[in-house]
Every structure is written in structure tokens, then in C-alpha cells.
Structure 1
């Protein structure tokens, strides 16, 4: 018989999705802090390098075993390229190109919708997307179009939509969606520290050549140093590790069910820190998208 899980551990496990969503929301804010002082790929290349240097001694001191099969290394590398290089590269490039934190968060916030529709579509007979999920999908995209249309015509400095930054954000959306599905399907359970080290190494191999081609150089100051520190310690060591653990524990559904809270949370923080305007259109579009996402990810009765 399995030993009962201590009550404190149960409470922590239940709180993990909420903690992850809060940490995840800050990723878009960090991009706004860092991008005025650095090109996106150079920032991410340094971030991946510092994160790897943090994981390696942690792995050595803990005596953690690395994955033993080439296939597992390959699967981890693919997820690293998608969930780090593709996703973060898209978000950071979009923000660098003038997109605000709130809009980038709103676009990527459709990831649970795409994931749920895909899983339902691939579930076989009797598992097709429900009418409620299709309604949620339509509402989610309608809310996004409402916000994007306003940003195209009435966006301010650092908070505008163009076809260029929209393309980067959409790339990030599809990268995180495909990466999550791929990891859930192919990556076998292993230690989160070694998994992250492999994923970050693969992301660095893809990102570094792009960073070397950037003409702009990094201009170190307090804002850039703070953004880098939180990106490494809070987002990579904390957020990415927590996401991997949640997927391994089968709690990805709990995270997905709360993801609709990320865009409103990010928009509120961006309004406080960067004065990104929260207009009636922005509130209506964000609320409509959040409601649509909640309809899609809400488990059936």
C-alpha cells in the first residue's frame, strides 16, 4: 500500500499550478524591461548560458543521473528548441519589434485553446471537440481580433501591433503549443534538472548563431541586469522547471485550466509598470478571450 502524502505536500501540489501561472505572467514583463537595452537573441543566448551554468553544479552536487538513451536526448532537445528557442525567441522578438506585454501575453494565451482542440480532435470517435469548445475557440479569437485591431490603429510606443511583431508572436504561440504536446507524448519521466540542461543546450545551439548575426549590442545597466537575473532564476530555474514537473505529474490540465488568467494579470502589471493603456476595447477583448479559453479548457461535467 502506498504511504499517504503529507497534508503539506498535498497543499503544495495543489498550489503549484497557481504559482506557475503567476511566474509565467512575469515573463512578458521581463521582456519589456530587457528589450530596450539588448537585441532579443543575444539576451536569450546569455540567459540560456547562465541557466546551464546554474544547472550543471546543481546536477553534480545532487548526483543526478543523466538520460541514458540517445532517443531521450533527442526528444528533450526537440522540446528545448520548441519551448525555449521558438517560444521565447518569438515573444522576445515581438516585444523588441514594438508589441506590448499585454498583447503578446494575450496571443500566446491561446495556447490552451489550440492544445485542447488538438487533443479532442485526435481522440478518435466520440472524442471530437464539443460545441462548448468550438464556441470558446470562436470567442477567444474574436477577443484577440478586437484587441489587435485596436493596437494596429491606436497603439502607442512599445505597445503597437504590426504584421512583423504579430508574426513573431504567432510563432511563439505555435512553438509552445507543439512543444507541450510533443513533451507530453514523447519525453519519458526524468530528473527536471538534467532535462532542463539538455533542453537549454539545444535552445542555445539554435539561438547563438542568430545572436551573432544581430548588429545591436547589449547595453548593461540595472534594468537589463535585473531582467536577466529574474529570467534565469525565476523563469528558467523556477518556471520552466515547475512546468516540466507539472507535465510529468500529469497536472498539465490544472495549469491549462488557469492559463486564461495570464493575459489579464500581465496586462494589469504592464499598466502599472509601463503605463500600457487599458482601454474599454482592451478590457472587452481580453475578457472575451479569457472567457473563451475557460470554456475550452473547462473539464466536462
Structure 2
């Protein structure tokens, strides 16, 4: 994590940043796969957030990073609660309430399209006709990838409470991304990220204490899952996301999330030998075409 000016980063790094973000973000299922059997969802997330606070706050202090004023810190905290506590908490709870992982990812996969609808009124960014076609293609690609997963399973995993939680997660991620772009443009990455996880830990901790037993069965798998989510997802992928939001149009940044389900399916095929058929491969191609239409200048 660096506070370097936008002009300091080489062009090749900027062009690879979205690809690296998608790859890292797509590995999040690995942490959930290994960690959730050993702790309740919000408790699992709270361990993750507290470890991040312990790491990031001293790092920001020792590196003499610039801390924001109280007004900006408040905006950063709000974005942290939306993007981390409510978004991830909603995803984990939706699955825990019986909604299948495929349907959860499909609901959350609407985020780029919802962002495109809101980005004009909220940020004044224009979405062209070509980009609208790209958003719809990306959504179709995600549907194809997830549909194959659902057809391969013996049950769909339908849960209205799970749907409500996934919808809340979708809304939180969309609003959080827009809010971050509009109100947190002056955020220093090191201190801003520390504040975001402090706020997320506070809100998620209250929810975990209220709703769960907070019992943890410590194991090598659980420790691996926590460390993976902390360093790969929360520090690596989220830092890339914040830099991308600060540098680019929000609708374009959001479109890369369409690539997460296809890349996740590829990783699952490589690591766990999960089925990857023609429908999923076709969905990946359609999603890639959609993203290309959105981001092409």
C-alpha cells in the first residue's frame, strides 16, 4: 500500500491492476470454504477485521502516513461499514440462511448494472449506449456461469431470508462504491484503510455479539482461511479496488466484478476439480466481451 501520486505508477501496472484485482477477489471463496466450518459467519469476519486493525493501525503510525480530518474520517468510516461490514456480512449470512452460493453470487453480481443506473444521478458520470450493452452482456455471462452450477446441483438453495440478505449486500456494495468515489477522494490509502476496518470491526462486532455465540474451533484450516482473507483479500484486493475507484470511472471499475464468478469457477476447477462445462465457458466469454465493451475507450 502506497500513497504515491497517480502519475508515479507505471502504465503497465495501471493496465494490469484490474486483472490482478479480479484474480485476488475471486479467491475469496477459498477462505470461506476453509474457514466457515469452524466459526459462525459474523464471528469469522470479526476475527478477520480485528487482525487487520492490529496490523494496519501500527503500520500507518510507523510509516507516518497522513491521517484525515474528522469530517473525512467520518466519510471513510461510513464507506468502510458499507463495503466491508454490511456487504461481506450480508453475503456470509445469506449463505448461512440457506441461499446457495450460486444464487448469492448471482444477486451480488447485479452490482455493476445497479452502479451504472446510479452513477449518472449520483456522480454525474455518463454511461454510453455501448457500455449499457456491455453491462447487459456481462450480466448474461454471469447468469450462464452460475446457472451451470445450479443445474449441476441437486437443489437450488432458495431462501427468502437469504435473498433479502444478499439484496442488502448488493445495495451496500453499490452505495459504498459510489460513496467512496464522491466523498473519500482525498483518502490516504494506509490510514483510510485502517479507519475503514476499525469501523467495520465495531459494527460487525456488535452484530456478532447480538446474533452469534462467537465460538471458534481453532484449526490449521481456520487459521489459513483468516490469513488468506486478511492478506490476499482485505489488504491486496481491497487496496487495488480503492486505487481503481480513485483513478477511474466507477461504472468501469464495477464492470470488472462481472469477471469474478467466471474466474472463481476456473480456480475451483483447477484446485478442487469442480465441473466446468460448455455453458460456463460460454458465460466466461460473454462476460469478457461485456467488460471489454464497458472499459474500451
Question: Smaller-chain TM-score range?
Answer: 0.7 to 0.9
Per the TM alignment, residue 141 of structure 1 is displaced from its structure 2 partner at its CA by 5.1
**In the alignment, structure 1 residue 74 sits paired with structure 2 residue 71:** no
Per the TM alignment, residue 149 of structure 1 is displaced from its structure 2 partner at its CA by 6.8
Report Cα offsets for 1:138-157 as digits up to 9, x if no partner.
55555666677777776348
2:115 counterpart residue number = 115
Equivalent residues in 2 for 1:28-107 (5 A)? 28-68=29-69, 70-99=70-99, 103-107=103-107
Q: TM-score if structure 2 supplies the norm length?
A: 0.81
**Structure 1 pair 97–169 and aligned structure 2 pair: CA distance change class (3 A):** same
The CA RMSD over aligned residues, in Å, is 3.4
Per the TM alignment, residue 32 of structure 1 is displaced from its structure 2 partner at its CA by 2.3
Per the TM alignment, residue 247 of structure 1 is displaced from its structure 2 partner at its CA by 2.1
2:199 counterpart residue number = 202
Tell me, in whole angstroms, the C-alpha distance in 2 between the residues paired with 1:281 and 1:97. 28
Unmatched tracts of structure 2, length 5 or more: none
Tell me, in whole angstroms, the C-alpha distance in 2 between the residues paired with 1:286 and 1:100. 20
Per the TM alignment, residue 129 of structure 1 is displaced from its structure 2 partner at its CA by 5.2
Tell me, in whole angstroms, the C-alpha distance in 1 between the residues paired with 2:147 and 2:247. 39
**Structure 1 pair 180–238 and aligned structure 2 pair: CA distance change class (3 A):** same
**Structure 1 pair 54–156 and aligned structure 2 pair: CA distance change class (3 A):** farther
Q: Is the 8 A contact 1:67 1:73 kept in 2?
A: yes
Tell me, in whole angstroms, the C-alpha distance in 2 between the residues paired with 1:141 and 1:15. 23
1:264 counterpart residue number = 262
Tell me, in whole angstroms, the C-alpha distance in 1 between the residues paired with 2:207 and 2:273. 31
**In the alignment, structure 1 residue 179 sits paired with structure 2 residue 180:** no
**In the alignment, structure 1 residue 165 sits paired with structure 2 residue 166:** no
Q: TM-score if structure 1 supplies the norm length?
A: 0.81
1:221 counterpart residue number = 219
Per the TM alignment, residue 165 of structure 1 is displaced from its structure 2 partner at its CA by 2.9
More deviation in 193-202 or 131-140? 131-140
Per the TM alignment, residue 56 of structure 1 is displaced from its structure 2 partner at its CA by 1.5
**Structure 1 pair 110–152 and aligned structure 2 pair: CA distance change class (3 A):** same
Per the TM alignment, residue 15 of structure 1 is displaced from its structure 2 partner at its CA by 1.9
Per the TM alignment, residue 183 of structure 1 is displaced from its structure 2 partner at its CA by 0.7
**Structure 1 pair 243–150 and aligned structure 2 pair: CA distance change class (3 A):** closer
Per the TM alignment, residue 48 of structure 1 is displaced from its structure 2 partner at its CA by 0.7
More deviation in 40-49 or 257-266? 257-266
**Structure 1 pair 134–14 and aligned structure 2 pair: CA distance change class (3 A):** closer
**Structure 1 pair 172–211 and aligned structure 2 pair: CA distance change class (3 A):** same
Unmatched tracts of structure 1, length 5 or more: none
Q: Is the 8 A contact 2:134 2:289 kept in 1?
A: yes
**Structure 1 pair 107–293 and aligned structure 2 pair: CA distance change class (3 A):** farther
Report Cα offsets for 1:234-276 as digits up to 9, x if no partner.
1112221222222223375664453332110012223444555
